Structure 1
């Protein structure tokens, strides 16, 4: 299992990792107001959201590779419930902008993340794919 050297914790990504940048909990007046300018159902707005918030990160090329592969696997599963990732949980200390839990096609949102990551992270994905992932830092 890949260990994040920054935290010392196992890094086990899920597609929800791509949504953390859209969490407006306690930032409704800042990030929330900014995100409400976009319509995640509109392909043009969706692309702007993904490029501006989602794919810009301080993750290493290995993190990006694992995130990408995790998303690839979820997209290959025709029964994967992307909508569940947007459901409001009153017990959680997180929330998305108003209306995002009613997004028309959450799969399309993640397909666009994948498509754009393929372009934006091309060099990182290539670099990681050439390495033997079994030699990456692991537990045990």
Structure 2
């Protein structure tokens, strides 16, 4: 089991890990204003959102590999509900730009995340895939 050196806890990623950069909670007047100019339903805007906000990460290559792998598993599951990841939860310290919970297809959003991550994170994913994950 991979232990996150940041908090000493087992690292159990979900596809929502890709959304940290678009979480506007307590940043509504800065990041929120910036993101509301972009439409996640428009392919060009969506690519910009993913490249600029979803993929930049200070995570290690192992973290990236595990996040990428968990997204692949979710995409392979036709029953996986990506839309729920964007739903507003008043109990959570998390929120997304106005109307993102009405995205036409959250699955398409994450398919694009996967496609772009496979390019942007290629070296990190390859490096981690060559290691024995049981040793992590």
* TM-score, normalising length: structure 1: 0.95
Q: CA deviation at 1:91?
A: 1.6
* Residue correspondences, number: 136
| CA–CA separation in structure 2 for the residues paired with 1:60 and 1:49 | 21
Per-residue CA shift, 1:96-119, capped at 9, x if unaligned? 000000000100000000000000
Q: Indicate the RMSD between aligned Cα atoms, in angstroms.
A: 0.7
TM-score by length of 2: 0.98
Larger mean CA deviation between 17-26 and 119-128 belongs to: 17-26
Tell me the distance in 2 between the aligned counterparts of 1:69 and 1:94.
24
3-state secondary structure, aligned to 1:93 = coil
> d(CA) in 2 for partners of 1:68 and 1:91?
27
Question: Would you say 1:128 and 2:123 are equivalent positions?
Answer: no
1:106 aligns with: 106
- 1:90 deviates by 1.4
Give the equivalent residue in structure 2 for 1:71: 71
TM-superposed CA distance for 1:27, in Å, is 0.8
